[in-house]
């Protein structure tokens, strides 16, 4: 089968570069177009973008000239890593013009008719698309992936949803790469913890309820569980750690929960989607794991690692989860979403 041409909106930014790297050599998708601001338009990619990742920009991007982020010559499928200040109008303009916009930006995540997709958890939320197209009069569509800390929390919780989650308290230790480039000044973060990330706690709380909610015709009925998040920026380069205390309506044993983590297997694995980790949630039995430096990059940064499952004296159980914030929390998540859509026949 021939590859599907794809473009990247916001290709010069931090997440845009992760898209380029993640898509290099992809078996289904071929990079054909790069879009960014008028500051970059008309320049060769290597001239427009300062490459922040290891090595050089892949040839698949280096050979391309950056275009303005306007519908016209872009391919039908677009990954978006646009600055949030401009993503609303630009993504909508492309969807209106018939493009499939698989977005990493926060702008449309909580729109009632837009899937906030995690293929292991809510592949059926793609059923919102016909309603979105009818309501907005679009030939195209917008699908989003969650915030980088929310995806770690929801992937850690997904195997446990069967036990009836009623309350969640989570604390994050978030890597500096989540703030983009140049991000937090080194004088602020080195040897320090910053106990505030703008709007992050609200995003984690509401996105978790939507992702783990139920498709109800024209909207998602949110998960009824209460979610309380504390978000912190720490001096880690890549990999968000979240600690989680959780209360259940049924009272599972430790063996029930361990078994649920260890046997969790979902749609991307059943369909062998190219970017799906073989085991999406991996329990680490060691007392001091998972750790961002040692574990975040395993399985191409696409798996979620959990550990330290133990009783919680306030709720029922507590554990730690870790995921790669710029891969599974950004570019890799969006590519997996597009692979799911391809497997549903929505892209060709």
Question: Where on the chain is the footprint of ligand NAP (CB under 6 A)?
Answer: 10-16, 36-37, 39-40, 69, 81-84, 86-87, 104-106, 148, 177-178, 180-181, 325-326, 329-330
CB of 66 to ligand NAP, least distance (A): 7
CB of 200 to ligand NAP, least distance (A): 10
- Nearest residue to ligand NAP on Cβ basis: 13
Annotation marks residue 148 as catalytic: yes
CB of 237 to ligand NAP, least distance (A): 11
In angstroms, the CA 335 to CA 332 distance is: 5
Nearer to ligand NAP, 70 or 294 (CB): 70
Nearer to ligand NAP, 53 or 190 (CB): 53
In angstroms, the CA 345 to CA 116 distance is: 19
Annotation marks residue 99 as catalytic: no
Give the E-state strand segments of 150-198 in sequence order: 165-173, 193-194
- Burial track 238-265 (b if 16+ CB lie within 10 A, e otherwise): bbbbbbbbbbbeeebeeeebbebbeebe
Give the H or E element holding residue 61: helix 59-62
Nearer to ligand NAP, 12 or 154 (CB): 12
Nearest to 332 by CA among 268, 258, 276, 264: 276
Nearest to 319 by CA among 304, 299, 329, 297: 304
Strand order in the sheet with 100-103: 67-68, 29-36, 4-9, 77-80, 100-103, 141-144
Nearer to ligand NAP, 87 or 129 (CB): 87
Of 18, 26, 108, 148, which one is the catalytic site residue?
Answer: 148
CB of 35 to ligand NAP, least distance (A): 7
Of 18, 99, 240, 324, which one is the catalytic site residue?
Answer: 240
CB of 130 to ligand NAP, least distance (A): 26
User: In 3-state terms, what secondary structure has residue 321?
Assistant: strand
Nearer to ligand NAP, 118 or 160 (CB): 118
Active site residues: 148, 240
């Amino acid at each position: 089968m021939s590859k599907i041409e794809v473009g990247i909106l916001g290709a010069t930014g931090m997440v845009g570069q992760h898209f380029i790297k993640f898509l290099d050599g992809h078996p289904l998708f071929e990079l054909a177009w790069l879009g960014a601001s008028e500051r970059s338009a008309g320049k060769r990619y290597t001239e427009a973008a300062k490459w922040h990742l290891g090595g050089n920009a892949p040839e698949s991007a280096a050979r391309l000239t950056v275009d303005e982020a306007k519908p016209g010559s872009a391919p039908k499928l677009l990954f978006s890593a646009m600055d949030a200040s401009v993503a609303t109008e630009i993504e909508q303009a492309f969807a209106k013009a018939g493009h499939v916009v698989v977005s990493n930006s926060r702008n449309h995540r909580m729109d009632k008719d837009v899937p906030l997709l995690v293929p292991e958890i809510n592949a059926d939320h793609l059923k919102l698309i016909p309603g979105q197209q009818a309501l907005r009069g679009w030939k195209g569509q917008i699908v989003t992936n969650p915030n980088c800390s929310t995806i770690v929390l929801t992937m850690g919780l997904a195997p446990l949803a069967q036990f009836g989650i009623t309350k969640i308290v989570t604390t994050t230790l978030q890597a500096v790469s989540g703030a983009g480039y140049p991000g937090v000044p080194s004088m602020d973060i080195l040897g320090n913890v910053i106990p505030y990330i703008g709007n992050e706690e609200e995003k984690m709380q509401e996105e978790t309820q939507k992702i783990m909610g139920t498709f109800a015709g024209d909207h998602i009925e949110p998960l009824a569980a209460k979610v309380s998040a504390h978000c912190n920026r720490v001096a880690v380069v890549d990999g968000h750690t979240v600690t989680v205390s959780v209360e259940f309506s049924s009272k599972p044993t430790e063996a029930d929960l361990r078994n649920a983590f260890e046997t969790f297997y979902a749609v991307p694995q059943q369909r062998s989607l190219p970017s799906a980790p073989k085991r999406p949630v991996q329990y680490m039995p060691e007392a001091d794991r998972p750790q961002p430096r040692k574990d975040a990059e395993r399985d191409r940064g696409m798996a979620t690692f959990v550990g330290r499952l133990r009783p919680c004296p306030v709720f029922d159980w507590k554990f730690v989860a870790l995921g790669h914030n710029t891969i599974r929390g950004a570019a890799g998540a969006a590519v997996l979403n597009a692979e799911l859509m391809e497997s549903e026949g929505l892209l060709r």
